Structure 1
Amino acid sequence: MKLEHSFTVPADLDTVWQALLDPERVAPCMPGATLTEVDGDTFKGSVKVKMGPISLLYKGSGEFLSKDEPARTVVIKAAGKDARGNGTASATVTVSLEADGAATIGKVVTDLSITGKPAQFGRGLISEVGGKILDSFATCLASKLAPSTTPAEAEETPKLSVVEKERPQAPAAAESAPTAQLPEAEGGNPAAAPAPSPASVAQAQAEAEAVATGREAGETASEHAPRAARPRLSAVPEPENEPIDLLAFAGPSVLKRVAPLVAVVVAVLIVLGLRRRR
């Protein structure tokens, strides 16, 4: 079946075009979709679908068939199947972008082939659900493309820096103590130095302990000082999206289709009740 939809993103054409070519940016905006691998123009992922009590998990892959930058048109082909073998889905999607003032309008043409339980919705309901899914996608993409901080705010962001503190130099005992010229005793030998008093010994010990404490504090501060962060190239997996609930998207439409049937059933029950009373 062939489906046609459109969406609007409040961002300029070039920004939306670059985002559209990056699966890692657009995949999280698709309800129920989780991107698992990207290799050039090919990618792999899964889509969780919920239909009331029934849950389906489609695993598949896709690729960019063409990227026409001057025309701002991209063609993507994707296919997948349910992990339990309850159905398959394949689609060729053509997305064309055009500027609309400061916003961008996207036109989507989907050639869809689907089997299994989701195919029971029919073309009309699938088209309506697809339109609502694209609206949700456009809202999410707009939030991702919106600037998070202004340049002024970025400049005011405090930066961590390493401050090296000068370690206190312990004064050497020989340098701090004044050198006294000892008188020479008879025979040319220097006279014995007088014994230090207990008060001077205690003061020297206190000064030595203070110097040692200062050294330890300086070393501890330098060890715990923040270091400049080194950039690391590591893949950060995106969190898995919640399953897309088709009944939630199709709720009003399903009620419209079921309402006439419910009215007929209620009328029949009323007639049967009246006959029993007679």
Structure 2
Amino acid sequence: MRLEHEFTVPAPVGTVWTALVDPERVAPCMPGATLTGVDGEKFTGTVKVRLGPITLMYKGSGEFLETDEDSRRMVMKASGKDVRGNGTAAATVTAVLSEVDGGTRCEVVTDLSITGRPAQFGRGLIAEVGGKIIDQFADCLASGLGTEEAGGDTAPEAPEDTAVSQQHLRAVPDQAEEVEAIDLLGTAGVPVLKRALPLVLGLAVVALVVSRLRRHR
């Protein structure tokens, strides 16, 4: 499916571009994400997703296919698989920056493919949740760049559990479990929750049955 989003950051386009093409600077702003390694244009990481009573952990990798500074256009491809084999996710993201009213507009187009439980949300719900996650990301990025413009830290402050050495590739597999998962239903809000209620109830029943079976064994 194709998703389109747009957000504005109150920072110069050059500053936003530098941050956007640096995984170590943007990863702390992406809900549920942990960057586990960077090697040139390629990177690895994990994303934790909570769907009602179910928590999924995706492990995957990505790379920058295009970073054209002159046109401020970036193309990135990433894919991951749930560690329990419950589904996959793959996306090609194209972002184009432009200057507007002293700030920067970022237009994002995502070609997304999902299998497994999250796919049951359907296109409409996924687009709505995706838009709100993008908003959270934009707010975090704007806050970090605002600090930088004011002469503070040069990047958004990242929790220790998402830190990655800037000097070399370093794996931090244990830290991924400490990152708070993206709460898809909480992010969606009450209106979306009502539409997704049958799915939530179904997952809750499944979780309850599995729990009782485990206790019985």
Provide Cα deviations, 1:85-139, integer angstroms capped at 9, x if missing partner: 0000000000011111211111110000000000000001100101000000000
Question: What residue identity is the alignment partner of 1:42?
Answer: K
Instruction: Please list, as runs of the form range in 1=range in 2, the aligned pairs for 1:35-184 lying within 5 A after superposition.
Output: 35-147=35-147
Q: 1:12 to 1:125 in 2, by over 3 A?
A: same
- 4+ residue runs of structure 1 moved beyond 2 angstroms? 147-151, 233-241, 251-259
Question: What residue identity is the alignment partner of 2:107?
Answer: K
Q: Are residues 1:257 and 2:195 paired?
A: yes
Q: 1:88 to 1:74 in 2, by over 3 A?
A: same
How many residues are paired up? 179
Max radius of gyration: which structure?
Answer: 1
Q: Once superposed, what is the RMSD of the aligned Cα atoms? A: 2.3
The answer to whether the 8 A contact 1:28-1:241 is kept is no
How far 1:69 moved relative to its partner? 1.1
- List runs of 5+ in structure 2 lacking aligned partners: 153-166, 198-217
CA distance in 2, matches of 1:39, 1:246: 30
Question: What residue identity is the alignment partner of 2:141?
Answer: L
Look up the SS of the partner of 2:180 in the other structure: coil
Higher relative contact order (CA 8 A, sep 6+): 2
How far 1:257 moved relative to its partner? 2.8
CA distance in 2, matches of 1:8, 1:131: 13
Q: 1:82 to 1:145 in 2, by over 3 A?
A: same
TM, length-normalised to structure 2 = 0.76
Q: 1:41 to 1:149 in 2, by over 3 A?
A: closer
Give the aligned partner of residue 178 of structure 1. none
How far 1:258 moved relative to its partner? 6.3
CA distance in 2, matches of 1:45, 1:91: 14
Give the aligned partner of residue 186 of structure 1. none
How far 1:255 moved relative to its partner? 4.1
Identity across the alignment (%) = 64
